[in-house]
């Protein structure tokens, strides 16, 4: 299994550096940073002693780009007051379910706000580190510590040792799923579904709908073909 | 089981704050800071949002003082080139062995040098977080992250739920062991053992010798009585 850590809108260079250091400590190499501006990553590169991981970190303009080649996308959350639409697993349960997967992305949100609903819509399911609630406090863990604890659980359980296959029969990548979502949106537009059911046609709602299907790679391609055919027909009439 | 975190010679206020925050996140309250000067703790108190743990942190002048009431003292190490005289367990193994204990101290050394031999001599055994070796690098983990990972393992395994008894039959506290070590030193001095075998009479060597006995509380008291009697006789003649 290959694991990449995706930091979404991390603002603090120290936290990016700490996350990179935890990755290096536990033997992970693939860091992807989603940010509108590259300043925190550059500051982290200048300041911190985790050269390899930081030097090779990939800067992405969007979550979609960051997770495109992944077959499983997991969001992390501190379980606030937000209503959860996703299935939520503890870190321990999550490690078990990751076994045998091909390429997994673990998303960490910004220190202040976590992952937005739009960002969460790219995730197959969520995981959380069990914490002690404190009265009147919003539960949240330091970003560097959260990354360290999550990666420790993977190393601990030896989840990484079992390499998953990536054949035609395996799970679709996030890029394939995103492609499907985009074509579905076009179909809904062309069929005037979006006009009749605007509240169901939000891109985030659509993406969640497609993600929940949990397509195998081959199936995703077949469905894409079907949708394209429908689209062609709709536009032609 | 009660667990206290002992930070020995932590120099960086940010690291003390991060350790305190991890404790609060995982529901631990007992922080003890061993430092010659109190500046880093005071700076951490001023800067960081983990009020309860930091406010109640106990400042100790020595490791002996910090662990006096504990029945199990565990040192953490990154396994460098140092020759290990202690038994070394992985964090996972350590959590299992901690089950049913009464009051456990987990010692973390300074960010730069770890725990010294003198500090290690107070430990029953050592534990380590499994890390990936990097070429030409000294293995070491960020202090706040190391504390977070260790406490996560305890919460994860539910080790804390099982409260150990503290009866007369249970393990001796570190203070009782230290007492025994001190009287043994006096005996060795009075019997001229120290003069004949100076290399065996180093206080660190003595302490290790006593710690390895793994006394039960009652036995420690009996042995203390025996040594005091011997000492009385030696000094009288």
**For A59-100, how does the pLDDT look when each residue is reduced to its tens digit (9 = 90+)?**
999 999 999 999 899 999 987 545 567 889 999 999 999 988
Least Cα separation, residue B133 to chain A (angstroms):
8
Q: Hey, is the C-beta of B158 within 8 angstroms of any chain A C-beta?
A: no
Backbone angles phi, psi at A50, to 5 degrees: -145, 50
Contact of A183 with A228, CB cutoff 8 Å: yes
State the pLDDT at residue A168: 39
Specify whether the CB–CB gap between B127 and B96 falls below 8 A: no
Asked whether residue B197 carries a pLDDT value surpassing 60, the answer given is yes
Reported pTM: 0.81
Q: Are A38 and A44 in contact (CB under 8 A)?
A: no
* C-alpha distance from residue A94 to each of A90, A91, A131, A157 (Å): 6, 5, 16, 11
What are φ and ψ of residue A180, in 5° steps? -60, -45
List CB contacts (< 8 A) between B18 and chain A. 142, 144-145
Contact A148/B155, CB-based, under 8 Å?
no
Contact between chains at A148 and B153 (C-beta distance less than 8 A) = no
Taking CA atoms, what residue in B is nearest to A157? B92
Predicted local confidence at residue B92, as pLDDT? 93
The answer to whether the Cα torsion of B30, B35, B38, B39 is positive or negative is negative
Q: Which of B152, B155, B157 to mutate to test the interface with A (most CBs of A within 10 A)?
A: B152
Distance (Å, whole) CA B84 – CA A216? 51
> What residues contact residue B215 under an 8 Å CB cut-off, 6+ apart?
B171, B172, B176, B177, B180, B223
Name the percent of chain B lying above pLDDT 70. 88
Tell me the CA distances in angstroms from B175 to A220, B71, B205, one per residue in order: 66, 9, 17
Confidence of residue B168 (pLDDT cuts 50, 70, 90): very low
Q: Are B19 and B5 in contact (CB under 8 A)?
A: yes
Contacts (Cβ under 8 Å, ≥6 apart) of B151: B3, B5, B22, B23, B25, B26, B28
Which residues of A fall within a CB distance of 8 Å from B131?
25-27
Let me know: does A73 contact A212? Beta carbons within 8 Å: no
What are the chain A neighbours of B132 within 8 Å (beta carbons)? 24-27
CB < 8 Å from A in window 20-79 of B? 21-22, 24-27, 52
A92 touches chain B (CB under 8 A): yes
pLDDT > 90: percent of chain B: 36
Low-confidence stretches of chain A (pLDDT < 70) are 47-50, 80-84, 134-139, 159-170, 237
Strand partners, A74: A106, A125
How high is the pLDDT of residue A210?
82
**Over the stretch A37-59, which tens digit does the pLDDT of each residue have?**
777 777 777 766 657 888 899 99
pLDDT confidence band for B208 (50 / 70 / 90): confident
Write down the pLDDT at residue A48: 62
Q: Which residue blocks in A63-215 are alpha helix, DSSP H?
A: 63-67, 91-98, 117-120, 143-156, 174-190, 193-196, 203-211
CB count within 10 Å of CB A223 equals: 18
Query: Closest approach of chain A CAs to the CA of B129, in angstroms?
Result: 8
Q: Summarize the confidence of residues B44-57 as an average pLDDT.
A: 78
Q: State how far residue A49 is from chain B, nearest Cα, in angstroms.
A: 11
Is B198 or A5 the better-scoring residue by pLDDT? A5
Judging contacts by C-beta atoms under 8 Å, the chain B residues touching residue A153 are 152, 156
CA distance A120 to A118: 5
Helix (H, G, I), strand (E, B) or coil at B58: strand
Q: Which residues of A touch B52 (CB under 8 A)?
A: 134
Q: What angle do CA B190, B193, B198 make, to 5 degrees?
A: 120
**ipTM of the complex model:** 0.76
- Mean pLDDT, all residues of chain B: 84
What are the residues whose beta carbons fall under 8 Å from the beta carbon of B37, sequence distance 6 or more?
Answer: none
Query: Under a CB-based contact definition with an 8 Å cutoff, are residues A185 and A23 in contact?
Result: no
Enter the tokens of residue A173.
């990548």
- Structure token digits, residue A70: 């992944």
């Amino acid at each position: 299994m290959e694991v990449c850590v995706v930091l979404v809108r991390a603002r603090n260079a120290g936290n990016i550096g700490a996350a990179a250091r935890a990755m290096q400590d536990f033997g992970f190499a693939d860091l992807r940073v989603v940010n509108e501006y590259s300043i925190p990553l550059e500051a982290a590169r200048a300041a911190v002693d985790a050269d390899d991981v930081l030097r090779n970190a990939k800067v992405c303009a969007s979550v979609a780009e960051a997770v495109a080649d992944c077959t499983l996308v997991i969001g992390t959350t501190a379980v606030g007051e937000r209503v959860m639409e996703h299935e939520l697993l503890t870190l321990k349960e999550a490690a078990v379910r990751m076994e045998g997967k091909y390429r997994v992305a673990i998303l960490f949100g910004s220190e202040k706000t976590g992952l937005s609903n739009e960002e969460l819509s790219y995730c197959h399911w969520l995981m959380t580190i069990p914490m002690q609630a404190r009265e009147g406090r919003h539960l949240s863990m330091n970003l560097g510590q959260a990354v360290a604890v999550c990666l420790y659980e993977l190393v601990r359980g030896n989840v990484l040792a079992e390499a998953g296959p990536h054949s035609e029969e395996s799970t679709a990548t996030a890029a394939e799923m995103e492609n499907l979502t985009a074509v579905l949106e076009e179909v809904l537009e062309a069929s005037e579904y979006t006009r009749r059911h605007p509240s169901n046609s939000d891109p985030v709602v659509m993406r969640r709908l497609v993600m929940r299907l949990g397509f195998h790679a081959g199936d995703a391609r077949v469905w894409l073909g079907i949708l394209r055919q429908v689209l062609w027909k709709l536009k032609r009439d």
